[in-house]
Structure 1
Amino acid sequence: MKIPEKVFNTLFFLPIVIFLASQAYAGEPVKFTFTSPESKVVFEGSSTFHDFDGKASEISGFAEGDIENLEDTSKGTFEVKVVSMTTNHEKRDSNMMEDMAEKLFPVISFNLTRIAILKKPASESDHYLVKISGELAMHGVKKDIAFPATMSLSDKAINLKASVPLSLKDFDIKPRTFLFMSVKDQIKVDFDLTGVRI
């Protein structure tokens, strides 16, 4: 039985088109944006008599890279507006804004410089274990930091989770004393960033 010419051409060229399209997609970077409702940044600290925690509500940023070659192509940044940080204690929050000089330095930012894959997911429901390196800018001071994180990745979304210890002194932040209570130097920042593909 003779195959019609149009059908033959379709059957012949379709695999080639699919192959070329898949190769183009594999080599192209994909971009994800982080937004406040889906992403969370919380911080924990200690003072003379008790511990406290807080959160930031205004978060933005992006992550970009070739999914097949993350270590060599990844880049990204995320920002937190200082004014959106709160510990649900009016006086402490007011002191925090002054200590961080919010009017002069309204944004805390992190710029990714490298991502190293420590462990690949064993299944589609598993996550990557990665080491993230970059520059953190806070209170007018820039500092290179690196920390482990878990990363979940799909065609439509990315999620990054990590816990990062920080020293306030490293960023020239000197918390004031209030009613004989002073904030200790070490804080812990936990972030859970979810980005959607654009």
Structure 2
Amino acid sequence: MSRSSLGVSLGVAVSMFLSGCSGCSKDPNEGQPAATVGEAVETATAPTGKPTAVPTTPAGTDAGPGDAGATTDASATAEAKPPEELALSPATGSILFTGSKVGGSHDGSFKKFTGTLTLVPDAIENSKVSVDIDLASVSTDNGKLTDHLKSEDFFNVAKFTKATFRSTSIKPVATMKGATHTITGNLDFHGVKKSLSFPANITVTDDKVTASAQFSMNRKTFNVAFDGETDYLIKDLVFVRVTVNAPRKK
């Protein structure tokens, strides 16, 4: 097999990160929401779990915050639940992807990743997500493809050993089908750092936190492209899927 034809076969799943649909001719990105990409932003400070105490002044007075008439919502502060640190790993979730080319697709995943969900139980939007992905742990449904993805042609895992994601905001949404929140964060991958926003469905119960996200993203945003004449046969969009099923500490 020539290098050219091998590049087409192996480059299919390069269309970067995270989800699944094997060998289907239909574009797996069809009908999926597209991630929004922008310039990386400063990471917000760690959540405290403590609501801000707001001074209040009885009606009809001009007492300042330091006056006897000023009060604070002490009860709310006292009852606020502290943040919880939940571990993220292949034991509590998955990072999957599907890359496509003309006539087919390949599934892949990352077998090694670590991270933390800093959960603020009373205010999910104040929670934080941090994930480190071992790029050498990439695995696909084709052994030769897996090896090629690790090479300098694509992920170049010898130089770029990991990808990182640090959330900067988690905002509730009410009108998006299948999603409860929009997660935004800085994705540092393949030497490129960008802000990435995508929809997610997040559920918090007394026992666990479950979350799922699926979206399409453009591999070329992160300079993941096969340097050959056959790269045009590989679709730029990659179908991404992430799941979390993290138990809470009793």
TM-score (norm 1): 0.76
Identical amino acids, percent of aligned pairs: 22
The C-alpha deviation readout for 1:87-139, integer Å capped at 9, x for no partner, is 121221111111111111111221110001124xxxxxxx9711111111110
CA contact (8 A) 2:150 2:156 kept: yes
- Could you say if the C-alpha distance between residues 33 and 131 of structure 1 is closer, same or farther in structure 2, counting changes exceeding 3 Å? same
Aligned counterpart for 2:128 among listed residues 38, 50, 75: 75
Which structure has more relative contact order (CA 8 Å, sep 6+)? It is: 2
Say what the alpha-carbon RMSD is for the aligned residues. 2.7
- Could you say if the C-alpha distance between residues 104 and 180 of structure 1 is closer, same or farther in structure 2, counting changes exceeding 3 Å? closer
Partner of 1:40: 94
CA contact (8 A) 2:106 2:141 kept: no
- Alignment of 1:106 with 2:179, yes or no, is no
Shift of residue 29 of structure 1? 1.3
Shift of residue 178 of structure 1? 9.5
Unpaired runs of 5+ in structure 2? 1-73
- Alignment of 1:95 with 2:148, yes or no, is yes
Partner of 1:129: 180
Q: How far apart, in 2, do the equivalents of 1:145 and 1:28 lie?
A: 28
Shift of residue 65 of structure 1? 3.4
Partner of 2:196: 145
Report SS of the residue matched to 1:54.
strand
Q: How far apart, in 1, do the equivalents of 2:215 and 2:156 lie?
A: 22
Q: Which stretches of structure 1, 4 residues or more, deviate above 6 A after TM superposition?
A: 20-23, 178-181
Aligned residues: 171
Q: How far apart, in 2, do the equivalents of 1:155 and 1:25 lie?
A: 17
Query: Which structure shows the bigger proportion of residues in strand conformation?
Result: 1
Shift of residue 180 of structure 1? 8.9
Q: How far apart, in 2, do the equivalents of 1:171 and 1:164 lie?
A: 16
Partner of 1:60: 114
Shift of residue 25 of structure 1? 5.5
- Alignment of 1:171 with 2:222, yes or no, is yes
Partner of 1:28: 82
- Amino acid of the structure 1 residue aligned with 2:243: D
CA contact (8 A) 1:136 1:145 kept: yes
Unpaired runs of 5+ in structure 1? 1-19, 120-126
CA contact (8 A) 1:128 1:152 kept: no
Q: How far apart, in 1, do the equivalents of 2:83 and 2:121 lie?
A: 7
